[in-house]
Structure 1
Amino acid sequence: MVLGTVALVGGMSLVVAFSKHETSLYSSEDLQSLYGELAYIVFLAFAGVTLIASRVLFNVYGARRQQGLENLPYHNLVYPISYCYFSAMIGTQQLLMAKCISNLLRLTGDGDNQFTHWFTYFCIAVWLLSAIYWVYRMDLGLKLFKGPFIIPVLQVHFTLLAIVSGGIYFKEFDGQPPGHICGELMPLTPAPYAP
C-alpha cells in the first residue's frame, strides 16, 4: 500500500513536471477549427479503430465467460482492460468539452458572447452525454469487476486518455521535446497493472 502510494505520488509529480504550463483562450470558431487539424483527425481515426477493437475483444472474452466455456488466454487482463479502454476513451470527452466550455465562458465573461454560436451548445451537449456515459460505465464496472481493481484501472485509463486527447486537440504537445511528452505519459502507463 505504501509502495503504491509512493509510486502514485511520484508518477503524478512527473506528469506535472513535464506538462506544458501555458494556456491559450480559444473562441468557438477556434475550437471548431481544431477538429479539422490533421493530428486530431489521425487521433480520432486511431481512437475509432481501437474502440471497435476493444469492444470486440470485450464481447468475445465476455461471451465465452457467460457461456461457461474455458477462458481465452490472458482473460484476466484483456477482459477488464478492454472494458476500461472503451469506457475511458469515450468518457474522457467530458474533460475535453469541459475545457472548451471553460474557454467559451471566459471569453463570454470578457464581453465576447460565445452563446451566439452553435458550437458552444454542441460542447455542452457532448460534455453532458459523455459525463453521464462515464458515470454509467464506472457503475457497470463495479458490477462486473472487483472495485479495488477496476476503479484504479478505470481512473488511470481516464487520466491517460484525457491527457492524450486534450494534448493533441489543444496542441499542447506542439513544440515539446519527445522526452517531455514521454515524461508526461509514461508514469501513468504501468500503474494499473502493478501487483
Structure 2
Amino acid sequence: MSETTSSTPPQLFPVTVPLGHSVTSWWIGIVLSILGSVGTNLGVNLQKLAINQRLMLAPSQRRRLSHTPLWLLGLFVFLSSNVTGFFSYRYAAQSVLAGLSSLQFLSHVLFARFILKEPTDMNAYYGTALIISGCFFVVWFGKHDSRAYDMEDLIVLFGKSPFVCYCFTIAFISVIASTMYTQLKQKIARRHGVAKFEPTLASQREGQLLAVLYALSSSVWGTFSVVLAKGCSMLLAQVISSFPGALMCYETYFILLGLTAAALYWMNRLNHALKLFDVSYAFPMMQIGWILFSLLAGGIYYEEFLQWNRRDVGFFGIGICLLFVGVVLICPAAKKDHRTLAQIFYENLVNEVIRPPPAYSQNVLTTDHLSASSSSSVAEADNHPSHVGKNLYRPLQNDVIG
C-alpha cells in the first residue's frame, strides 16, 4: 500500500505571530482624535474671545479671567480635549492619527473666522480644502485596525530590528542636519565679520534653509513623545481594568520619563524655532516634520506598515502630501515674532495683550489715539481707556498648541 502524503506544503519559514491583540474599534480612535483636535482649538479660541470681551469693558468693570465663565469654559474644553486626544491612541493606528492631527489647522481657521471674526485670506481656504482631501485619503487608505500591547510586548517592540534600524537612521539624519545647521550659521557669521550668529544676518533663503534643518533635527526626536503616549494609553487602560497592573512594573516609569523628556524637548525646540526664524515658514516646517516622523515612528514601532500593499502606500502618500501643502497654505505669512510660545501664553492669559475685535478697534481708534498709543507703554494704555488700541496687540501667528 502506498503511504498517504499530505497535500499541505512544508513550512519553509516560521510563522511570525504578531504581538498583542487586535482592537477592531478603530473608528472610536478616529472620532476621539477629531474631537481632540477640534476641541483643543475651540478651547483656545473661547479663551481669546473672553479676553477680547473683557478688553471692551472699562478697567473698573473688568473681572479676573479666572472669574470669567467663558474663559473657564474654554480652559475646560482645552484640557478635556487633550485628554480625549490621548485616549484616541488606544484604539486607532498612530500612522492615521498623525495625519488627522492636521485638523487642528482647519479648526483654527474656522473658529478664528466665525468666533473671533478675524479675516481669512484665500490661501487659507485652499489649504482647508487640501487638508480635508488629505485626511480622506489618510483615513480611507490607512491601516484601520490597531493592536493593544501589554508591558512585555512594548519592551519586545523596542528591540525589534525595524525599529532599531529606524532609530539609527534618524540619529544619522539628526547628526547631519545639526552639523549642516551649525556650519551654515558659522558661515553667515564669518561673512559679516561677527563672532556670534544672529538671525537677522541671514538672507531669506538662508533663513528658510536654517529653519528646515532645525525642524528636521528636532522632529526626529520630538515625535517619540507620540510613540510613548500611545504606549502609556494602553498601559493606563490595563491599570484601570486590573489595578495595579502595569504600575508594578518599573518599565512603566521609564516610559513615563521618556514621554516627559520627549515632550519637553519638542516644546523647547518649537519655542526656540519660533524665536529664531520667521514664523511663516518655521512653524509649517516644524509641523510637517512632526506629522511625517510621528507617523513613521508609530508605523514602524507598532508594526502598522506590515499589511500594507502598494495601493495603500501610494494613496496614503498622496494624502500626506496634500496635508503638507495644506499646512503650508493655511499658515499665514507673517513678519518675525521673537516671542516664545511661553511668552505668548503669558501675555494672553496674564497681561491680556491681544487684538481687540475689529468692530471695537474701528469704533474706538482714531489717528490721534494710534499716535498716542505708539508712544505710551502698555501699562499706561491700560490705565487710560482712550489709549486702548493697536499698541495692546502683538500678532498671534503661532498660537497653535500641540
TM-score, L = length of structure 1:
0.89
Contact kept in structure 2, 1:87 and 1:137, CA below 8 Å? yes
**Partner of 1:93 in structure 2?**
224
Contact persistence 1:91–1:130 (CA under 8 A) = yes
**Which of residues 128, 151, 159 is equivalent to 1:5?**
128
- Is the 2:137–2:316 contact (alpha carbons within 8 Å) kept by the matching residues of 1? yes
- The 4+ residue runs of structure 1 with deviation greater than 4 A are 69-72, 192-195
Partner of 2:67: none
> Is 2:288 the partner of 1:174?
no
Shift of 1:76: 4.5
97-106 or 2-11: bigger deviation: 2-11
Closer/same/farther in 2, CA of residues 4 and 94 from structure 1, 3 Å limit: same
Distance 2:291 2:319 in 1: 11
Where do 1:31-180 residues align within 5 Å? 31-69=154-192, 75-111=206-242, 113-180=245-312
Q: Give CA-to-partner distance per residue, 1:113-158, whole Å, 9 cap, x none.
A: 0111122111100110111111111110111111122112111110
User: 1:24 is paired with a residue of what secondary structure?
Assistant: strand
Structure 1: tracts of 5 or more residues without a match: none
Rounded Cα–Cα distance in structure 1 between residues aligned with 2:251 and 2:318: 34
- The residue type paired with residue 300 of structure 2 is I
The AA in structure 2 aligned to 1:84 is A
Alpha-carbon shift at residue 63 of structure 1 (Å): 1.8
Q: Is the partner of 1:106 in helix, strand or coil?
A: helix
Instruction: Count residues in correspondence.
Output: 194
- Whether the 8 Å CA contact 1:61–1:71 is kept in 2: the answer is no
Bigger mean CA offset, 23-32 vs 185-194: 185-194
> Could you state the TM-score of these two structures normalised by the residue count of structure 2?
0.45
Q: Secondary structure at the match of 2:148?
A: coil
- Taking the aligned partners of 1:193 and 1:5, their CA distance within structure 2 comes to 11
Q: Which amino acid aligns with 1:95?
A: V
- Distance of aligned partners of 1:82 and 1:179 in 2 relative to their CA distance in 1, 3 Å threshold: farther
Give the drift of 1:13: 2.2
CA distance in 2, matches of 1:99, 1:121: 15
Partner of 1:184: 316
Look up the equivalent residue of 1:23 and give its one-letter code: S
CA gap of 1:110–1:48, structure 2 versus 1, over 3 A, is same
The answer on whether the counterparts of 1:57 and 1:78 sit within 8 Å (CA) in structure 2 is no
What's the offset of the Cα at 1:68? Answer: 3.5
Q: Residue 188 of structure 1 aligns to which amino acid in structure 2? A: I
**How far off is 1:62 after superposition?**
1.8
2:303 alignment partner, SS class? coil
Whichever residue aligns with residue 215 of structure 2, its letter is C
Partner Cα distance (2:293, 2:158) in 1: 17
| Greater relative contact order (Cα < 8 A, sep 6+) | 1
RMSD: 2.2
Specify the code of the residue in structure 1 equivalent to 2:275. K
Partner of 1:25: 148
Give % identity: 22
In 2, distance between residues paired with 1:169 and 1:106? 20
Q: Cα 1:103–1:15, aligned 2, differ >3 Å: closer, same or farther? A: same
Which structure 2 segments of 5+ residues have no match? 1-122, 193-200, 334-402
1:86 shift after superposition: 1.0
Larger proportion of helix: 1
Give yes or no for contact 1:64–1:71 (8 Å, CA) kept in 2. no
